[in-house]
A and B are shown apart, each in its own frame.
Chain A
Amino acid sequence: MTTYRTLSSNFSWALDELDWPVTSEVGPGLSGVIATGTRVSWLDPSSGALEYRGVPIEELAGMHSFEEIAHLLITGNEPDEDKEAFSAFRDQLRASRVLPDDVIALIRSLDSQIHPTSILRAGVSALGCHEMSHEDELSGERHWRELRIIAQVAALVVQIIRHRAGKEIAEFQSENELAFEVLRAIQDTDPDAKDVRSLNLLWVLFADHGLDAPTFTSMVVASALADPYYNVVAGLSALRGHRLGGASETVLEQILPLDTPENARSWVASTIASGGRIAGFGHRLYRIPDPRVVILRKEVAAQARRKGKSELFDIARAVEDEAQRHLAPRGVHLNINFYAALLFHLLGADTPLLPCLYMVGRMAGLMARVHEELENPRLYRPLGHYTGYPVRHITPEKGR
């Protein structure tokens, strides 16, 4: 039997086929473990390759809307392949943005300053109560169900943004794509085409990235044949962690108070010298620069210039250079959160909204993988290795 050297940089994470059982290296946090075989996307951390359904990310970013990429990830078909199917998909997606009044009322009944990810999780859960009654069979057109949830999560985020800003409930126009509607909620006016492009770019880059914690949690929950809203509630629970969704907020909390590139450099140097962390650096998988960073850096530069905030970009560059100088020799590189956080900020998003905005994009890959899991589900049930007490017995006075 082949032993896959999954922790070696020679392993490309692509194989003709996979025969179970598999034998692989296993590192901390299950790195190296082959949890599943997939046709959704290819991620090779050692070469930096990222492909959605066989198309390199460099060809997709900036060329397509999030709606098109969601279609690609879920169905495996590029929008141009079957224009009719794509229009049906898109219409379904947009129609699903209308939420039950009760769910909107629930969101608005909560204190608007509660963290948006907590409100989003509650909203998804309440929505599940509306969509799935206990008589509901979980078979049937899963495909449409998953599509619907992607749009519903985006719609919930829109309504949370409006509530947070103390604005009225958003009404959706069917001719407007998701990115347009989310930006309209953030900016309180019709967004311009360049901002729509930027948000689509962010979502396309975030749409899928292997089995990150929200995605893998959702797959595990799906494998127990839970209702699809529950998959998402579980996935959103993983988003709350400071090692994950919280990281992009920390980027802004660190960068925005810096006033000049020079001060930024000295802040980085002193933070690293004192053993502190620079948010937006380091990734479990990558020992080389994340390929998505290059694409985003360019977009941030252009948007900063356009919005008269070139200084912010210069400060970010200074942080990047200085931190890279110290950290690159240790194999720690810039990750996608760094420039993504700045781009969300330039688009007008309030810092605590970042994990939710990220999640809208990730929902496409998450749902595509849940869909794939459910084609042939097998319950995820690993083991613990028992190192505890040998058998002992309860004495009359018990432990006391």
Chain B
Amino acid sequence: MKPEAGNQKVQTYQRGLEGLEVTDTRISLIDGVKSRLIYRGYPVDELAENCSFEEVTYLILHGNLPNQQEYSQWKDELREWRIPPKEAFDSLSIIPSNAHPLAQYRTMLTIAACHIPEAGRSDMQAQWRRPARILSWSAALAAGAIRHLNSQAPLPPKDDLDFSANFLWQALEREVSPEEKSAFEASLIVQAEHGLHAAAFAALIVISTGADLGSAVLAGMGALSGVRHGGANQLAYEDISKFECAEEARVWARKQLDEGYRFPGYGHRVYKCPDPRVAVLESHAKNLLASKGMEDRWEIYSAVRAEIEGALSPKGIYANVDSITGLIYAPLGLPVSSFPIPFCLAIETGWMAHCLEYLPHGAMIEPGAVYLTSS
């Protein structure tokens, strides 16, 4: 079916284009009533439990889980692109290290984009050669940006490690335990695709102009960097990291509830029910925190969450994925200001899938604006 076929002739929508169906998609189903997130038919909890990040990225991009041969080719292709252009790392030396890691990361990506192969091509063959390069370069540059926060030089990749273990190695300079890796990988898998949220929509607009896939990803990252969007996991973790004990946190949460504070990491435009991604990550976060002697963080999180959900769940406000990913990234030793980066890395997969799905038939996206004449 052509992507445009889903467009009804007449639609009703709110500001922010809420409720407007932009295109048909076969990539994911976000069920905000029954609390389900499905990639290409598979529930996300089953994918997180049984699959690697590489398998899930293949699934999201191509529509099916890879067979043995496709899987090993995809892993090889990802591994081939682990070394981004040197110029991108060099640019770190002149970027102020107090800039937000996402801004540093973005700058490295814009420099890397000056050195991409087949820069002028936007035909489908060339576009399909790009996802592996984009994912692997992004991972290496993201790790470099995180190292730069502590004024450390980037590390070379380790070929014997898979995508997520290698990313953690390049970011942390240590080989992580199997528990750490599976917690991190689960966080990447549940965040790898989420429909036409603002960032994916920005990417879709850019690809619709005939731009290259990397340019679309850069636009998506722009939207993601906003505090309303991808920056929320950092803010959510900062909120709960100021407390010594659960009781103190509970008192704070009650007070904030009274004052109508908008808690980062809670509530969602689509989910008016528990966010299915949270359930997947709960045991990972709890166990990982316990293994690092950080059980109190889990207790504080649970106390705050119970207060907020107790008060606001009748209004459809529950903890969303941003409330919990920090509880995996913190015990791994990632700096708090870098928390948005793994999310960004994972969800590039979904943006690329939406772009590649839209491209063959999609018209250039250009809505209208109504000129308001009242004073």
Residue ranges of A at the interface with B (Cβ–Cβ < 8 Å): 1, 3, 6, 13-18, 20-39, 41-43, 51, 102-103, 105-106, 109-111, 114-115, 118-119, 121-122, 125-126, 128-130, 132-135, 138, 210-213, 216-217, 220-227, 229-231, 233-234, 237-244, 246, 284-285, 369, 377-394, 398-400
Contacts and interface: CB of A to CB of B under 8 A. Distances in A.
Nearest to B103: A129
A389 B67 CA distance: 18
B202 A388 contact: no
Contact of B368 (A126, A211, A239): A211
A381 B103 CA distance: 23
A23 B199 contact: no
A118 B370 contact: no
Contact of B26 (A18, A103, A386): A386
Interface string B115-128: 10001001000000
Top 5 nearest A-B pairs (CB, nearest first) are: A241-B209, A224-B226, A389-B41, A399-B65, A29-B363
B104 to A, nearest CB: 6
Contacts of A230: 103, 106, 221-222, 225-226
Nearest to B88: A122
A262 B333 CA distance: 71
Contacts of A129: 95-96, 99, 103-104, 107
B99 A224 contact: no
Most buried by A among B100, B226, B228, B270: B226
Contacts of B218: 121, 233-234, 237
B195 A41 contact: no
B12 interface: yes
A39 B216 CA distance: 29
The B interface is mostly helix, strand or loop, or mixed, namely mixed
Contacts of B18: 381-382
Contacts of A26: 7-11, 20
Most buried by B among A132, A393, A398: A398
Interface residues of B, number: 110
A221 B106 CA distance: 14
Given A37-B369, A234-B223, A393-B43, 14 more contacts: A14-B371, A14-B372, A25-B9, A32-B368, A36-B370, A37-B371, A118-B114, A210-B366, A230-B106, A234-B222, A242-B122, A387-B1, A389-B40, A391-B41
Most buried by A among B26, B47, B270: B26
Interface in B142-196: 195-196
Nearest to B219: A234
B226 A28 contact: no
A133 B47 CA distance: 38
A36 B366 CA distance: 12
A36 B122 contact: no
Contact of B24 (A6, A34, A387): A387
